[in-house]
A = this chain, B = another copy of it.
Amino acid sequence: MSETTDLSRAPEAMIADMGRRARSAAGRVAALPPGAKPKALVAAARALRDAAPEILAANEEDMAQARTAGLSAALLDRLMLDEERVANMAAGVDAIAALPDPAGTLIEETERPNGLKLSRVRVPIGVIGIIYESRPNVTADAAALCVMAGNAVILRGGSEAARSNRAIHAAFVRGLEEAGVPTDLVQLVQTTDRAAVGAMLTADGAIDLIVPRGGKSLVARVQNEAKVPILAHLDGINHVYVHASADPKMAAAIVVNAKLRRTGVCGAMETLLIDCDYPASAELLRALTDGGCEVRGDAAARAIDPAIATADAADWDTEYLEAIASVAIVDGVDAAIAHIAAHGSHHTDAIVAEDEAVANRFLATVDSAIVLWNASTQFADGGEFGLGGEIGIATGRLHARGPVALEGLTTYKWVGRGTGQVRP
Chain B residues positioned under 8 Å from A359 (CB to CB): 417
Closest to A375 in B: B418
> Considering the complex, which residues of chain A in the window 302-359 have a beta carbon less than 8 Å from any beta carbon of chain B?
341, 359
A118–B421 Cα distance when bound, in Å, is: 42
Cβ-defined contact, B420 with A253, below 8 A = yes
A217–B288 Cα distance when bound, in Å, is: 58
Question: In which size bucket is the chain A interface?
Answer: 35 or more
Cβ-defined contact, A413 with B398, below 8 A = no
Q: Cβ of A367 < 8 Å from any Cβ of B? A: yes
Chain B residues positioned under 8 Å from A420 (CB to CB): 247, 250, 253-254, 374-375
Q: Cβ of A279 < 8 Å from any Cβ of B? A: no
Cβ-defined contact, A397 with B209, below 8 A = yes
A97–B370 Cα distance when bound, in Å, is: 29
> When the two chains form the complex, which single residue of B125, B247, B401 contacts A414, counting CB atoms closer than 8 Å?
B401
CB distance from A278 to the nearest CB of B (A): 16
Closest to A403 in B: B414
Q: Cβ of A137 < 8 Å from any Cβ of B? A: no
* CB within 8 Å for A398 and B401 given contacts A379-B423, A420-B254, A422-B254: no
Q: Cβ of A261 < 8 Å from any Cβ of B? A: yes
Which of A364, A371, A402, A423 lies at the interface centre, i.e. has the most chain B CB atoms within 10 A of its CB? Answer: A423
> Considering the complex, which residues of chain A in the window 12-52 have a beta carbon less than 8 Å from any beta carbon of chain B?
27, 30-31
Q: Cβ of A70 < 8 Å from any Cβ of B? A: no
Q: Which residues of A contact B (CB under 8 A)?
A: 27, 30-31, 104, 110, 112, 116, 118, 123, 125-126, 208-209, 229, 247, 250, 253-254, 257-258, 261, 341, 359, 363-365, 367-376, 378-379, 384-386, 396-399, 401-403, 411-423
What are 17 pairs between A and B in contact, CB < 8 Å? A27-B365, A31-B365, A112-B385, A116-B379, A247-B420, A254-B422, A258-B422, A359-B417, A363-B415, A370-B414, A372-B415, A374-B417, A374-B420, A375-B417, A378-B423, A401-B412, A401-B414
Q: Given A253-B420, A379-B421, 7 more contacts at CB 8 Å? A: A126-B367, A247-B420, A250-B420, A370-B414, A376-B423, A379-B416, A385-B414
